[in-house]
């Protein structure tokens, strides 16, 4: 199929004002996890206005926009929920009214990651305008609840709707670099039991907080000896929360529990990480219980789709056909050598590839360091670059790389 990279870039630049307005409209709609209904409705309107072939939502509330009717199903994903604004005193502008000049757009969700949605929607328009449809169906997904439970939406999409793309472009912020993986994570709970008694005679009880103390020290030491990986880096853990129960301030604590943020590198999975903690001498001595946290918060539609807070590691190799596709598109569009890297944080790829083996690749407008920060911003030139990339990827993949895809993909988390 003949297509012109310069024409794609010209149209992406032409639609910069429309992308900017669309992004500002999304920012203006508060859309924290499980409260995304209004921003989903705004996205559906934009998809219909620019000419998507089909626009719909699923029972969880994710929005699907389709371009084309070919046999190769290619998906691109942006989570459109955001975190809260935090301390409003740290913001120079209203986080929902935002701010805009010739170069940047500021507001909650600008980089993380409604900017990716703005670029994807206008990539769909570019494909339509330039008649780039080939033997592919492009599925643009605006996913919900990612900030609350990354990958939950795609667990539902893959398991319940049986939608399995050949690959997925994750549009989380990458500073317009190509990202080919990231560490996994899990949320672990460690609980020590105790027996309460009056605080005036603590020897009559069994203090659960004291039993937690040596566990904390051994966890700190365990973090230092977790395994490393040449691309993804080292596994890590940190104690993020501590709680207790006690009949009163004048009593011995009868339970204590901590939360652990565990980051998993290649070669580590959920059971491996849990067993590492269960085998600590202090955990055994305290008869502590080590479990994964569950997640069962209702979506904005009311749907409850329970899961464990386990989000596996994933990455693809540099010579994978999907990685080769993006490298070639980048070089063709920008006549420059792209940077290959990885995310520090976690994305919906934990389910798509980490759990279900569907290859993922990352390219997005915005910067990682803007995520969850006050005065969050993104850059208009990156919205343009991302839209051009997304418009060119499907055709080039079908033309050059679809027949080179592996027949099966291993679950790299295991």
d(CA 252, CA 313): 41
Give the orientation angle of helix 380-396 with respect to helix 115-129, to 10 degrees: 50
- Identify the active-site residue in 133, 134, 146, 166: 146
C-alpha dihedral sign at 218, 223, 224, 227: positive
- Identify the active-site residue in 81, 150, 166, 382: 81
Angle at the Cα of 110 (from 108 to 115), degrees rounded to 5? 145
Question: H helices of 317-376, where?
Answer: 321-334, 349-352
Give the three-state DSSP class for 285.
helix
Is-catalytic flag, 221? Answer: no
Residue with tokens 């000896």: 225
Question: H helices of 228-304, where?
Answer: 270-278, 281-286
d(CA 353, CA 206): 45
Residue with tokens 């604590």: 253
d(CA 303, CA 296): 9
Q: Residue 295 in contact with residue 307, Cβ under 8 Å?
A: yes
Is-catalytic flag, 81? Answer: yes
d(CA 207, CA 282): 14
Residues classed as catalytic: 81, 146
């Amino acid at each position: 199929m003949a297509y012109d990279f310069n024409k794609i870039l010209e149209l992406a630049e032409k639609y910069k004002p429309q992308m900017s307005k669309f992004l500002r409209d999304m920012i203006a709609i508060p859309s924290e996890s499980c409260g995304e209904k209004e921003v989903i409705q705004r996205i559906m309107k934009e998809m219909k206005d620019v000419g998507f072939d089909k626009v719909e939502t699923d029972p969880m509330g994710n929005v699907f926009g389709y371009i084309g009717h070919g046999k190769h199903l290619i998906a691109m994903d942006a989570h459109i929920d955001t975190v809260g604004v935090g301390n409003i005193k740290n913001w120079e502008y209203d986080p929902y009214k935002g701010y805009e000049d010739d170069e940047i757009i500021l507001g909650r969700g600008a980089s993380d990651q409604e900017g990716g949605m703005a670029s994807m929607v206008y990539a769909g328009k570019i494909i339509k305008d330039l008649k780039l449809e080939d033997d592919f169906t492009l599925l643009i997904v605006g996913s919900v609840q990612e900030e609350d439970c990354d990958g939950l939406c795609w667990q539902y999409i893959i398991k319940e709707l049986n939608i399995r793309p050949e690959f997925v472009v994750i549009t989380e912020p990458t500073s317009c670099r190509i990202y080919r993986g990231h560490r996994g994570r899990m949320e672990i709970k460690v609980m020590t039991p105790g027996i309460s008694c009056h605080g005036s005679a603590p020897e009559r009880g069994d203090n659960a907080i004291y039993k937690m103390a040596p566990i904390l020290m051994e966890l700190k030491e365990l973090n230092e000896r977790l395994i490393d990986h040449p691309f993804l880096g080292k596994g890590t853990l940190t104690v993020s929360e501590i709680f207790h129960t006690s009949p009163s301030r004048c009593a011995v604590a009868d339970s204590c529990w901590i939360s652990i943020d565990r980051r998993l590198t290649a070669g580590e999975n959920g059971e491996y990480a849990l067993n590492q903690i269960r085998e600590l001498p202090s955990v055994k001595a305290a008869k502590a219980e080590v479990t994964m946290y569950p997640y069962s918060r209702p979506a904005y539609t009311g749907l409850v789709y329970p899961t464990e807070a386990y989000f596996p590691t994933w990455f693809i190799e540099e010579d994978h056909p999907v990685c080769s596709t993006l490298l070639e598109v980048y070089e063709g569009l920008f006549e420059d050598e792209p940077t290959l890297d990885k995310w520090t944080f976690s994305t919906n790829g934990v389910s798509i590839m980490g759990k279900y083996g569907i290859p993922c690749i990352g390219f997005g407008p915005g910067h990682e360091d803007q995520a969850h920060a006050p005065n969050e911003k993104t850059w208009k030139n990156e919205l343009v670059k991302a839209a051009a990339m997304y418009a060119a990827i499907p055709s080039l993949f079908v033309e050059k790389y679809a027949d080179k895809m592996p027949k099966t993909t291993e679950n790299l988390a295991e």
